[in-house]
Structures are given as structure tokens and as C-alpha cells.
Structure 1
Amino acid sequence: MKKKRFSFMALLLSGSLLFSACSNDTSTTPDKGKDSGKVDGEITVWVHPYTGDAKKEEEMWKEITANYNKEFPDVEVNIETIPWANRDQKVLTALAANNGPDVFYAIPDQMPQYADVGMLLELDPYLEDSDLEGFVDTSLVSTTWKDKKYGLPILQEAYTFIYNLDVVKAIGEDPANLPQTWEEFEAWAAKAKEKGFYALNYLGGGSMNGTIYPWIWQAGGDVVTDENEVLINSSESVKAFEMINNFYQKGYIPEDSITATTQDELWFGGKILAQLGSGISITMMEKEGEFDFAIAPPLTGEKQLTYGTTGMFVVPSNSDNPDAAAEFVKAVTNAENQRIFNTVTQYIPTQEEAKDIFDSNQYMSQLATYTQYALPGVIHPKGRAIMPFIQAEIQAMMAGDKTPQEAADAAAEAIEAELAKP
């Protein structure tokens, strides 16, 4: 059985993951193996199925591992693919049993949960300034908690508006001059309504990342900071509540937007002016779309921002071989290996120079330029837990039961109560 530096106890209680006291002290300077020539041994890396082609991904990981072994030939790398389903539980159970991986893939709402209880290795002692050169600035947001880096990003997305050009022409507007600001889009929304179209999809039954959060950020607001300052009911954030409420009450978004999880039938049926989407949406349009489309930069309110998840690799703080693991994280996210990984998976690289993989793809090349505006969500240990509270209040607002300010205040109160829990 593998010996680990720390022991983590993970308990499942009332749907929340609670951890026993774990050391948060990562001040010990690691023995930087690359410099001392001591990077050897064995590491296990947990990855997920990123496409539907297991054979192609197997070859991808062989190539990436071979690149790593060019610099660290004495490290044996074991790549293990685990399913997406129940991944949180699998990771936590394995680490609690002292039998976890040395490197694993994490997303933005997982990282702060793990880092806050000392489950992740701080990577700053392993990083030189040059190691961070080339990364899109926004891609590093989700890898940082309390001013410390706990991962490096390998992929990124950016959500923006995809326009049905038939509808654009039907409302008398120019496809070459798509809206850039809130005011411009709202003017188009009114014209769309007059012509019998919806202006935008809105999936109120889905994640806040694809509904209210982009509007909050564009308004200059925020949800909650890493210092537990709740800002969702600030004057800036309330502007986003007002915008969504205005769109719904005026019929600019579909009637089922309060609880909808998909509006594809309306979109592909040519009934909506614009859809908030990402690279997957573009792929679907190229395969299934029956009308011409164009994408535009994220809208600007007070700021030009949008949502886009970030995928990263992290190292558990109880890894048997932290030196080799940290070097693997640096290697797998370098430009060369990002080209390999993202060519197969068709995500957007977080290294600027690796974005050249999309040079021959008009839409993905354009979308890749928008990651500079993409925030990865609410980076906070309670980021996932507070979403249902916000969703419920926005739904109540859209149903006419609360004003935007009342809904925002109620959401803030619920968030504060959640943050007060141990």
C-alpha cells in the first residue's frame, strides 16, 4: 500500500462533503527535483474521456507522456481514465483511503473546495515566472485560491452570442454590424419581438454560469469574493437582475425560460435571434444548422466579460511523488502538449500560441480570441452550493413574485447563511 504524507477523512453528510482537519501549511519549500536531478519514480494520472473516441485519446496520452519522458526519462507515468459520473466522490474516497492519484483533472468549482481544506499541493514553489508566460490571463483565475496556485490550465471555453443571420436580416439589421453593447442588443431585441422572434435563449433551469452570471460580470458586479464578501445584491449586480427581468416581462426570451433546460427546438427552428453558446454550440450548428450564422464578441455593459469554464491539472498534497507530479502538470499544459490535447478534444488551448490549431477553422479561431474575456465562474469553496439559492430567487423574480432588488437581497441572505455554516 502506498504511504502518503497526510491522511484525509471525507464524510458525506446532508449532501455536503465535509473534511476532517487537514494541514493547510504548504510553506515548506519542496525539493525541486528538476533542478536537483531527482525526478524519478512513478506517478499515476487520472484523466476523463474528453471525446467519444477512446482509441484516439489513448494515442494522445501516449504522445504527451512520451514528450514528458524526453525530459524526465526515469519517471513511469500511468494514465488512468475514470468516468465523469461521480468523479468528486471517487477522487475524495481515493484520497481519504491514501490510494489516490498523483495528478488529476479538476474544474473551477472543485479546485477551491479541495484547496481550502489542504487537499492540493501548492504549485508556486515549483513555478518560475517563465512557466506562466503564454497563458491567457483569465485561464489562471480558476487555478488560484487565496493568492496561491494549485493547478495549471489545459483547456478553456468562451460563451458568446451566436446569431441567426436570417433573423438578423428579417428585423432589418446588418449581419456585418452585430451588437457590441447591452444597449445595442436591447434595441435589436425589441425589433425581434416586433417581428415575432425571440431575442435570446435563456435556460433558467440550468447553471447560473450560462444565465445570470455573465450579465452580473458585464454589469460590473460579482457574486461572492474569496474573502466571503457577498456582492450579488450590490447596485451593479442588481442591474443584471433588472436586465433579465426586463427581457422576460417584455417577451424577449421564451415563455418557458424560468425553468427551461433546453430551447434547441426554438433555436434550430429559426425562432430566436441569438443563442448564448460555446464551441459545442458551433459544432452543432455546423452539423445540424439549417441557416447561416455568425458569432460576435461578448457584450459590453460596464465591462466586457463572459463565462467560460477552465479545465486544469492539479496535484494532491499527499502525492507520493510531488516533484514528478508537479513537473507533469507543467509539461502537459505547455504549448506543444496543449496542441496535441486540444486538437483531439477540440477545446480552446489556454496557451496563446497553441491557438494556431484553429487557424483553418473560421468560427473556432474567432471564438478562441474571446477567452481573454471569459471568467470560469464563482471561484469559492461554496460556489456550487450557492447556485440553487440564486436560481430560486431569479425564478421568483421572473414569475413576478419579487422585484429584482428583492430577489437579489434574498439571494444575498441565503448565500450569507450558507457561508456561515461550518
Structure 2
Amino acid sequence: MKSTVRRIAAPLTALVLAAALSSCGGGDDTNSAGKKTVTLWMYPVIADQAASDTYWKKVETDFEAANTGIDLNIEAQPWDKRDEKLATAFAGGKGPDVVLLIPDQIPQYVKNGSLEPVDDVVTPDKDKFLPNAIPGLTVEGKVYGAPIYHTVTTTIYNKTVLTKAGITKPPATWDEIKAAAPKLKAAGFTTLDYSASTESTLNLSFYPLLWQAGGKVFADDGKSVTFDQAPGLEALTFLKTLWDDGAIPKTALNNGNAIENQPIGKGTVAMGFTATPANAATAAKGWGDANIEVGAPLTGAKQVGYGIPGGLSVNAGSKNLAEAKKFLSFMIQPPQLQALSKATGYFTPRTDAKVEVTDPLTLKFGPALQYAFPGEPNPAARQIMSLLSVEIQAVLTGKKTPQQALGDAAKQANDLLKR
């Protein structure tokens, strides 16, 4: 057991990177004491460095005490360029034995054979997880991640803005938003915060509207897109109507899911519909704690919000697969999940693991977990997101109609999927 959790600083020089990769799970499978080694690449899900060190040190100590033949090596990695570094490591036959991944990262590594299924790890406790925790880490019927935390987004409202517009009931449906927009405009406010920057993720902008309309990004087989069908048109038309009516701030074109120094943070927008607890905390500082209200995800044809599990995945090239899976089994038990919830402020993915979140505002996000959808994993998901983002901007700026834009994006996306 080591005395401290190892940290890899960013940016890495080529020499340090090479050394780091050579020390990972694809290399030697035992240490000098003859113990099996399991290397974990962990990212800063615990923002406070001291708290992170304390948590992972205890994980290391407790796991090694329960598994005396295994040496757990935790390497703290930066978020920056994480996919590039991991892909390089896997391609070189190296990489960690275990790594933290989220749903939209997993398909690309499954496609190139880098990940080992972990159904045998999660199956014994499968019915104890939140409805979309395990499905969010599943590709083509096999589970490739063991959930250790769950995020959630939902709607937040500025009560002062609503009151000044004479709105007593916060708009919770698309129809209610359209009805509230003229009143808010007359009072000098916009209605809905939106991020239309091509750099921002559609999981926090257009996709929730698509899902609320009853649509999907991909066909069930993942070989074509369906966002150009009727629900997608309904979602983009809804967005365009609000834009044309002045119900969305024009600064949305350059906003990448930011709150601070944006209209919503300055108190000129009535509501945001994909807010994280951190977003809510930022908004509360600007509006005042008494003026923020946390609601449920919006309802169109369906009520859906976005939220994802973070999962531990196993390198298919690990020489210690059994030991790596033992670590996953250890990590998904309530004691570890509860302590992680307390340290991160995230929710636990298990229904039998107590949520240790202490912040009162964050706790108000808890009811939205039942509506949390983890997105639609696909190896080309991020590329297609980039294609569609450009077309959505074209709609908002009046260069294309919603039907034209969705059709053009679908053609490009389907061509990409056929390659």
C-alpha cells in the first residue's frame, strides 16, 4: 500500500506520459512484494483536493485490507484531454486496469475492444440501482461500467422575475412556457435560458427537448439517426418559436452552459431547464437564496431530464481482470458510495445507499432523479452532436427552417454512420 495517492499533473510532457503509460495495468501484473496490482485512473470528481486525497486513501486502505493479495494503485488524472490520453494508452496495449467513464465515452472503447463486460459485477445488485444507472453504462446488451455516482439536472426558476411578470405558478410544461412568454416579455424579461454555442453539449440543450417531445437521436440499432422525424421537428420548432418571440436571450448563440455573467445569472431570465446543482448554487448567489426555486424536469409529450451515472470500467487488456473486478464489486457497495456522495455532493446510484449530500439546495434536485435519462451512447455521438449544433444555430439565425436543418444534419449524420 502506498502512502499517498499518485497525481499526474497536466499538461504532461511526452516523457512523463510514456512513463505513466508504462506503469499502467497493461504492464507488469505483480509488484515487488508479489501482490497482484490493480491501477485505477481517477479524475477529480471530488473538487476539493484534500477531501479527494482523504477519500481515495481510505478506499485504498480498506480495499487492500480486505484483499491482502492485491496492491491498489490510484493515479489521479486531469480532466483535460482525458480521451486522447486514454485512447493512446489503450492503443499501445497499456492503460489502467480500471478507469472512470461516463455513458458517451464507453461506446468508442467497446467498438475497438478496449473494455471488458462487467455484467457479473453488477448483476447480483442490479435491482438496487436507479432505473437508468446500469442501462446508461450498457452497450448492445452488455454492461461496461459499474455505477459509483449519479448526476442530475432539472429546472430552476427565478421567483422574483416570475412575480414581477404576474406569474404565480412556475411554468412546468411546454404549453405553460409558451403562455408565460408574452407576460415575461411585457415585464422586460426573457423566459428560457438556452445554450446554443456549437461548443456546448446538446445533452444540456437540445436533446432534453427532443426527448421531451418523445423523440430519439438514434434508431434502436444505432445505425441511423431519427432526430429529423416528427418529434425532432416539434422540439426545434418550439425552440425557434421562443427565439423569434424574444423568449430566449440572444446571447444564447455564444453561451456554453454558463450561468455567471450571463442573462440568467444577472436575473433577467425566468428559468433554466437543464441546471445542475452547481448551476443552481451560482444562480442563488446572484438572485439571493430566497429567490430560487427548484422544480421538476419539463414536460412535453414526456417528462424527461438529463442525468448520468459515472462508472468504473475495466481494461480488456488487463492481466488482472479478476482482481480489477473485485475492486469494482468493492466500490459499488453502500459504504463506499455513501462516502463518495458526501465528498462529491453527487447522488448515489443505488437506492439502498443513503444520499450523503448535505447542501439543502442540492437536496432539492433529488426528486428529479426518477426522470434522469443518461443520453444515447453511440461511437459517433460526439461527432453527430457537432453536426447538429451547427444546424440548430442556422435555424436560430434564420438561415434555415427547422425541417431543412434537421434534414441536412440527418444526411450528414447517416453518411457518417455508414462509414
Alignment size in residue pairs:
378
What 5-or-longer segments of structure 1 have no aligned partner? 1-39
Of all paired residues, the percent bearing the same amino acid is 30
Kept in 2, the 8 Å contact 1:153–1:333? The answer is: yes
Of the three residues 120, 133, 155, the one matched with 1:161 is 155
Alignment of 1:149-228 (within 5 A): 149-174=143-168, 177-205=169-197, 206-225=200-219, 227=221, 228=223
Kept in 1, the 8 Å contact 2:305–2:372? The answer is: yes
Kept in 2, the 8 Å contact 1:41–1:321? The answer is: yes
- SS at structure 1 position matched to 2:239: helix
Deviation at 1:285, TM superposition (A): 3.4
Alignment of 1:309-388 (within 5 A): 309-358=308-357, 360-388=358-386
User: What residue is the counterpart of 1:251 in the other structure?
Assistant: 246
The 1:181–1:288 alpha-carbon spacing in structure 2 relative to 1, beyond 3 Å, is closer
Kept in 2, the 8 Å contact 1:355–1:368? The answer is: no
Give the Cα–Cα distance (whole angstroms) in 2 for the partners of residues 406 and 180 of structure 1. Answer: 29
Deviation at 1:109, TM superposition (A): 1.5
Q: Does residue 51 of structure 2 align to residue 56 of structure 1?
A: yes
- SS at structure 2 position matched to 1:352: coil
Kept in 2, the 8 Å contact 1:64–1:340? The answer is: no
Kept in 2, the 8 Å contact 1:131–1:330? The answer is: no
1:209 aligned partner, one-letter code: N
The 1:133–1:263 alpha-carbon spacing in structure 2 relative to 1, beyond 3 Å, is closer
Deviation at 1:143, TM superposition (A): 0.6
- Given the two structures, how large is their TM-score scaled by the length of structure 1? 0.85
- SS at structure 2 position matched to 1:384: helix
User: What residue is the counterpart of 2:225 in the other structure?
Assistant: 230
Give the Cα–Cα distance (whole angstroms) in 1 for the partners of residues 351 and 224 of structure 2. Answer: 33
Give the Cα–Cα distance (whole angstroms) in 2 for the partners of residues 68 and 286 of structure 1. Answer: 39
Q: Does residue 139 of structure 2 align to residue 139 of structure 1?
A: no
Give the Cα–Cα distance (whole angstroms) in 1 for the partners of residues 246 and 122 of structure 2. Answer: 51
Deviation at 1:190, TM superposition (A): 2.5
The 1:264–1:201 alpha-carbon spacing in structure 2 relative to 1, beyond 3 Å, is farther
- SS at structure 1 position matched to 2:75: strand
The 1:156–1:299 alpha-carbon spacing in structure 2 relative to 1, beyond 3 Å, is same
Kept in 1, the 8 Å contact 2:347–2:355? The answer is: no
What 5-or-longer segments of structure 2 have no aligned partner? 1-34
Kept in 1, the 8 Å contact 2:266–2:286? The answer is: no
User: What residue is the counterpart of 1:283 in the other structure?
Assistant: 281
User: What residue is the counterpart of 2:21 in the other structure?
Assistant: none
Give the Cα–Cα distance (whole angstroms) in 1 for the partners of residues 140 and 338 of structure 2. Answer: 30
Of the three residues 400, 407, 417, the one matched with 2:415 is 417
Give the Cα–Cα distance (whole angstroms) in 2 for the partners of residues 126 and 367 of structure 1. Answer: 29
Deviation at 1:395, TM superposition (A): 0.7
- Given the two structures, how large is their TM-score scaled by the length of structure 2? 0.86
Kept in 2, the 8 Å contact 1:141–1:375? The answer is: no
Deviation at 1:158, TM superposition (A): 1.7
2:132 aligned partner, one-letter code: T
Deviations 1:121-171 (A, max 9, x none): 01124443x322321111222210001001112222222111111011111
1:113 aligned partner, one-letter code: Q
Kept in 2, the 8 Å contact 1:143–1:312? The answer is: yes
Q: Does residue 265 of structure 2 align to residue 271 of structure 1?
A: no
What is the CA RMSD across the aligned residues, in angstroms? 1.8
User: What residue is the counterpart of 2:393 in the other structure?
Assistant: 395
Give the Cα–Cα distance (whole angstroms) in 2 for the partners of residues 355 and 399 of structure 1. Answer: 47
